[in-house]
Structure 1
Amino acid sequence: MSHLSLAELEKQLITYRHDFHEYPELANHEFKTTAKIKAILEAWHIKILPTKLKTGVFAEIGLKTKPLIALRADIDALPITEASGVSFSSKVPGVMHACGHDTHIAALLGAAYLLKQEEAALPGKIRLIFQLSEEDQEGALQVIDDGQLTDVKAILGFHNTPQQPVGAIGLKAGITSGAIDKFKVTLSGVGTHASAPQNGKDPIPALGATISALQTIVSRNLDPFKAGVVSITHVNAGNTWNVLPEKAFFEGTVRTADKEVRKQIKQRFFETVKYTAKAQQIQADIDWYDGDPSVDNDAKLTALVQDETEKFAPTYVQQSKLGSDDFACYQALIPGVYANIGNGGSVSAHNPHFIADDKLIIVGAQFFEKNARRWLAELAD
C-alpha cells in the first residue's frame, strides 16, 4: 500500500467522487457503487466483512478487538434528472446524486486510507459502514438486521449542507432533525353522474374538508413552542369531467421533534380523518407508516467531537430542522453523533441544480479519521 500525501489523497478522492457522481444508483440498487467501493478497499488491503445484503459495504480497520466504533456514509442517489451543468454530471438518465452522498462515500474512503496507514497503532477497531438505501428510509434498519452494529459502542456520521462555507462543520448536542411518519388516506363513496349527485356519495368534498381540517392540527392543537408539520403532498380524485368518482386519495408526511408531539399528531390525525369522513357519509381508510425517529446527538460524544474538530476546521452551531435521516435508527440503539459539513452551495438538496464542492471531501475524511482516533482513545479500557 503506497503512501499518499494528503494532497495526493485529496486528488484521488475527488476522482472517485466524480466517478460515483457520473454513475449514480437508486436505493437498494447500488450494485456498481458497491463493487467500486469494495475494489478500492481491497486494493488498500482493508478487511471486507460478510453480509447478506445485496448492496452496501462493511469493512474493519484495527488489530485490537475493542473498543469498536463505527463510521457511516450513505451511498444511494435520487430519481432526479441532473441540471447542475458540472463536467462530471450524471450519465444515468433520470438519476442523480442530488443529496451529495457521492461526497460522503469519498470522504469515508479517505478516512479508511488514513486509518489503515496507522492500523497497528489504533487502540481499538473501526467499522466502516457504506450504507445502502438511505433515501427510502430502509437502509439503516437493514444494516442493523444484518448484524453490522453488533458490539459497536458508538457511531459517527455527517451530511453535507448548503448555505455554509465549504468545510465548516456544524455540531450540536441533542435533537437536530425531525422524526418522520408517512400516511396514505383513501376516501370511498359511491360514484354517479355529475348531474345527479344525490344518487351517489361524492368523496371530493370530503377530500377538501379533510385536508383543510388536518391543517388545524398544528395550528390549534400543538404548543406554539413545539415543532410539528403535517404536509399533504399528493392528491388524486376522479378522471373525467362529468363523473363523480367512487374514491379520492391523498398522502403526505408528518415531521416532529418531540416524542409526545409525535403521538399527539397521530391521534388527532386519525380522529380528524375518521370524523370528517363520517360527517360526509364517506368511508375513510388510513395507512400509517411509523418512520425514523429524530437524530439525537449524545452530549458527551458531541463534546469530544467539538473539541477535536476545532483543531483542524472551523465549527458552527448546527441548526435543528425537521428533515430526517435514518442515522437516527443507529442512535436509537447506541450513542452517536451526526454532524453537518458545509458544501459551499446555495441550492438545497433534492434539487436538479444541486452540487457539493469537492473541497469538502478531504475535510470530511479528516473529520472521520481524527474523531475516530479520539473516540478510540477515550473509550479504550
Structure 2
Amino acid sequence: MPTQWQDIMTSATALRRELHQHPELGWQEVRTAERIRTTLSSLNIPWRACAGTGTLAWLNRNSSGRHLALRGDIDALPIQEKTASDWASRNDGCMHACGHDGHTATLLASAQWLKLHEAQLPGPLTLIFQPAEEGGHGAREMIRDGALDGVDEIYGWHNWPAIPFGKLVCPDDIVMCGNGIFTITVNGEGGHASQPELCRDPVLAASAITLALQQIISRRLPPQRAAVLSVTSIEAPSAATVIPAQARLGGSIRIPDEESRKHLNQLIIEIASQTAQSYGVSCEVDIEPRYQATINHPQPAQRLRKLWQQLHGEQALAKDIAVPIMASEDFSYYLREIPGAFALIGADDGRNHSKPCHSAHYDFNDRLIPMVSRLYAGLAGLTTDSSN
C-alpha cells in the first residue's frame, strides 16, 4: 500500500503542474473541467457537471451515514507569470497565482485514494470541483445547482505562503474577512493645463479623495475592528498639456461582518462626495459587495484541528497567526448554508514558496498534496495510518 499511495501522490504532482501550465479564468475553465472529468471517469467515480464548468462527484453515494463534502477550487487569475519553472503558464496573461491548481490536484488525489477504500467509508462523500472562486461567486452558483443537496458538513482549505510550512490555522469562528470593491468616478471640467483657473481638476480632487479615504480605518472605525480599505488604482488618461474632464478611482474593502460593511460603505460615499464638492467637482460612487466573511462552525473546526495534530504533531497548529486573515473566500457561501470548516495551511518551507498568493512569482508547494490528502482521508472517515 505505501507504494500505491506514493504512486498516487507522484501522479497528483504531475497533474498539478500540468494544470499550472494551462490556467483558465473563472467561468472559462473548460479544459480544466474536462481534465477533472476524464480523471474521475478513469477512476470509475460518478460525476455530473454543475454550474457550467463545475463538477460534482460522489463516493459511497447510497450509504445512510453522515454526508460530507470536500471542496477544491479550479480557476486562475489574469496575471502574467514571472516564474522560471518548467511548468510555467503557457497561457499569456493567465496564471494559477493562488494555488487552485494544487487544490484541484489534491482533491483528485484524495478521490483516487478514497475510491480504493470506498467500502470503508462510513457515509456518503461529495467532491466539489468549483469554478470562479476569484470574484465570480462560483460557490453561490454551485449551491444553486445542487452542490450541497443532502450534504451535512463541508470542509475546504487554502495554501498560505505567509504561514510556515505545515502549520494550520482553523479557528472556531471567523477565519477570513468579507470583501467588496468600489469605483469612484470624479467629473470635472477639462481644459488647457496652462489655465487651471478655467478648469475643475478631477485629478487633484481624486488625489484628495484618495488621501481622505485612507483615514477612515484609522479615524472613523474602532481600532479593535479588523478592516482594510485600499485604493488600488487611479485613472485619468490625458495629454501632458491637458487637464482631463474625468478621473476614476478603484479600490477594495475587507470587513469582518456586514455591520462593518454597511458603515464603511456609507463613509466611502460620504467622504468621496463631500471631498469632491470641496474641489468644485462631482463624483459618482459605485460599490459592489463580493463575499461575506468566512466563518467556521466550532465543532467541525475542532475536528479538523484535532485530526491535523494527530497527523502532524501537537505543534502543527499556527497559534501566533492573527485572525481573521484579511483576504476573502467564497467558501463563505457554503458555511452560511451548512456546518463546516475552512483551514489555511502554511506553504513557506524556505524553498522558494514564500511569494504571496496573487504574485506573478508565486508557485504552489507540492509538498502539501500528500499532507492534505491525508487530512481529507481522515475527515472522510478512513484511519490515517492507511495512507502512510
Report the TM-score, using the length of structure 1 for normalisation: 0.92
1:290-301 aligned within 5 A: 290-301=289-300
The farther-off stretch of 96-105 and 63-72 is: 63-72
Q: CA deviation at 1:303?
A: 1.0
The farther-off stretch of 190-199 and 75-84 is: 190-199
**Contact 1:238-1:244 at 8 Å conserved across structures:** no
Residue aligned with 1:368, SS: helix
* Aligned twin of 2:386: none
Q: Where does the alignment leave 5 or more consecutive residues of structure 1 unmatched?
A: 375-381
**Contact 2:183-2:249 at 8 Å conserved across structures:** yes
Query: Residues 347 and 245 from structure 1, CA distance in 2 versus in 1: closer, same or farther, beyond 3 angstroms?
Result: same
* Aligned twin of 1:340: 344
1:149 aligns with 2:166: no
1:37-52 aligned within 5 A: 37-51=36-50
* Aligned twin of 2:170: 171
* Aligned twin of 1:126: 125
CA distance in 2, matches of 1:202, 1:164: 45
1:22-101 aligned within 5 A: 22-51=21-50, 53-62=51-60, 63-101=62-100
Q: Percent identity?
A: 33
Q: CA deviation at 1:82?
A: 2.4
**Contact 1:206-1:280 at 8 Å conserved across structures:** yes
Q: CA deviation at 1:139?
A: 1.2
CA distance in 2, matches of 1:152, 1:274: 47
Residue aligned with 1:251, SS: strand
Q: Where does the alignment leave 5 or more consecutive residues of structure 2 unmatched?
A: 383-388
Q: CA deviation at 1:93?
A: 2.3
Query: Residues 29 and 3 from structure 1, CA distance in 2 versus in 1: closer, same or farther, beyond 3 angstroms?
Result: farther
CA distance in 2, matches of 1:327, 1:64: 26
Deviations 1:120-161 (CA, angstroms, capped at 9, x unpaired): 332321111111111234211221222212232221001112
Deviations 1:41-88 (CA, angstroms, capped at 9, x unpaired): 11111110243x331211111131553221100111122232322222
1:350 aligns with 2:346: no
Residue aligned with 1:317, SS: coil
Residue aligned with 2:184, SS: strand
**Contact 2:56-2:126 at 8 Å conserved across structures:** yes
**Contact 2:121-2:380 at 8 Å conserved across structures:** no
CA distance in 1, matches of 2:93, 2:241: 36
Q: 1:136 corresponds to which letter in structure 2?
A: G
Report the TM-score, using the length of structure 2 for normalisation: 0.90
Q: 1:361 corresponds to which letter in structure 2?
A: I
* Aligned twin of 2:330: 326
CA distance in 1, matches of 2:240, 2:201: 14
1:113 aligns with 2:112: yes
**Contact 2:71-2:107 at 8 Å conserved across structures:** yes
Deviations 1:272-314 (CA, angstroms, capped at 9, x unpaired): 1111222223221111101101111111111111222222124
CA distance in 2, matches of 1:195, 1:133: 48
Q: 1:16 corresponds to which letter in structure 2?
A: L
**Contact 2:291-2:328 at 8 Å conserved across structures:** yes
Q: CA deviation at 1:262?
A: 2.2
1:210 aligns with 2:214: no
Q: 1:295 corresponds to which letter in structure 2?
A: T
1:227-238 aligned within 5 A: 227-238=226-237
* Aligned twin of 1:377: none
**Contact 1:107-1:364 at 8 Å conserved across structures:** yes
Q: CA deviation at 1:183?
A: 0.3
Q: 2:55 corresponds to which letter in structure 1?
A: V
Corresponding residue pairs, total: 373
**Contact 1:231-1:253 at 8 Å conserved across structures:** yes
Query: Residues 99 and 50 from structure 1, CA distance in 2 versus in 1: closer, same or farther, beyond 3 angstroms?
Result: closer
**Contact 1:166-1:342 at 8 Å conserved across structures:** yes
CA distance in 1, matches of 2:268, 2:379: 42
CA distance in 2, matches of 1:3, 1:210: 61
Please, what is the CA RMSD of the aligned residues?
Answer: 2.1
Q: 2:359 corresponds to which letter in structure 1?
A: N
1:150-299 aligned within 5 A: 150-299=149-298
* Aligned twin of 1:372: 380
**Contact 1:187-1:283 at 8 Å conserved across structures:** yes
Paired residue for 1:360, among 355, 360, 368? 368
